[in-house]
Amino acid sequence: MYNVQEIRHDFSILKRRVGEKKLVYLDNAATSQKPRRVIEALTEHYEQHNANIQRGVHRLAEEATAAYEGSREKIARFLGAPDSCGLIFTRGTTESINLVAHAWGRKNLREGDEVVLTEAEHHSNLVPWQLAARDTGAKLRFVPILDDGTLDMEEAERLIGPRTKLVSVIHASNVLATINPVERLAELAHDAGALMLVDGAQSAPHLPVDVEALGCDFFAGSGHKMLGPTGVGFLWGRPEILDEMDPFLGGGEMIREVHLDHSTWNDIPHKFEAGTMNIAQAIGLGAAVDYLDELGMENVREHERRLGEYAYRRLSEIEGIVLYGPEEDRTGLVSFSLPDVHPHDLSQILDEEGIAIRSGHHCCQPLMRRLGVAATARASFYLYNTEEEVDALVGAVTRAREFFGAFA
Q: Which residues bind ligand PMP (CB under 6 A)?
A: 29, 92-94, 122, 124-125, 170, 174, 199, 201-202, 222, 233, 363
User: If you write DSSP's letter for every residue of 4-41 in order, what string do you get?
Assistant: HHHHHHT-GGGG-EETTEEPEE-BTTT-----HHHHHH
Q: Which is nearer to ligand PMP, 71 or 94 (CB)?
A: 94
Output 49 or 358, the one with its CB closest to ligand PMP.
358
By C-beta, is 199 or 290 nearer to ligand PMP?
199
- 234 burial via Cβ count (<10 Å: 0-12, 13-18, 19+): buried
Strands 376-380 and 333-337: antiparallel
Question: Cβ atoms within 10 A of the Cβ of 98, count?
Answer: 22
Q: How far is the CB of 63 from ligand PMP (least distance, A)?
A: 28
CA gap 384, 28 in Å, rounded: 10
**Cα–Cα distance list, 186 to 116, 161, 194, 219, 341 (Å):** 12, 12, 9, 12, 41
CA 326 to chain centroid: 20
Decide whether 128 or 354 has the Cβ nearer to ligand PMP.
128
Q: What is the largest CA-CA distance in the chain?
A: 73
Helix (H, G, I), strand (E, B) or coil at 59: helix
| Residue (65 or 93) nearer to ligand PMP, CB | 93
Residue 288 and residue 35 in contact, taking contact as beta carbons nearer than 8 Å: yes
> Minimum CB separation from ligand PMP for residue 244, in Å?
25
Nearest approach in angstroms of CB 67 to ligand PMP is: 23
Active site residue 363: yes
Contact between 178 and 151 (Cβ < 8 Å): yes
Beta strand extents in 200-352 (DSSP E only): 218-222, 233-237, 255-258, 263-265, 322-323, 333-337
How far apart are the C-alpha atoms of 265 and 291, rounded to whole Å? Answer: 35
Nearest distance in Å: CB 49, ligand PMP? 26
Residue 124 Cβ vs ligand PMP, minimum distance, rounded to whole Å: 4
Task: For the CB of residue 112, give the shortest distance to ligand PMP in the complex, in Å.
Answer: 28
According to DSSP, the β-strands at 195-199 and 218-222 are: parallel
| Neighbouring-strand partners of residue 140 | 115
The residue among 273, 170, 178, 167 whose CA lies nearest residue 221 is 170
Q: Could you tell me the smallest distance in angstroms from the CB atom of residue 76 to ligand PMP?
A: 19
Q: How far is the CB of 287 from ligand PMP (least distance, A)?
A: 18
Torsion of CA 161, 163, 165, 167, to 10 degrees: -40
For residue 253, the surrounding DSSP H or E stretch is none
Which is nearer to ligand PMP, 120 or 396 (by Cβ)? 120
Q: Which is catalytic among the residues 85, 216, 363, 364?
A: 363
Q: Could you tell me if residue 134 is left (phi over 0), alpha (psi between -120 and 50 degrees) or otherwise beta?
A: alpha
Q: With respect to ligand PMP, which residue has the nearer C-beta, 239 or 286?
A: 286
Residue 211 or 341 having the CB closest to ligand PMP? 211
* Catalytically annotated residues: 363
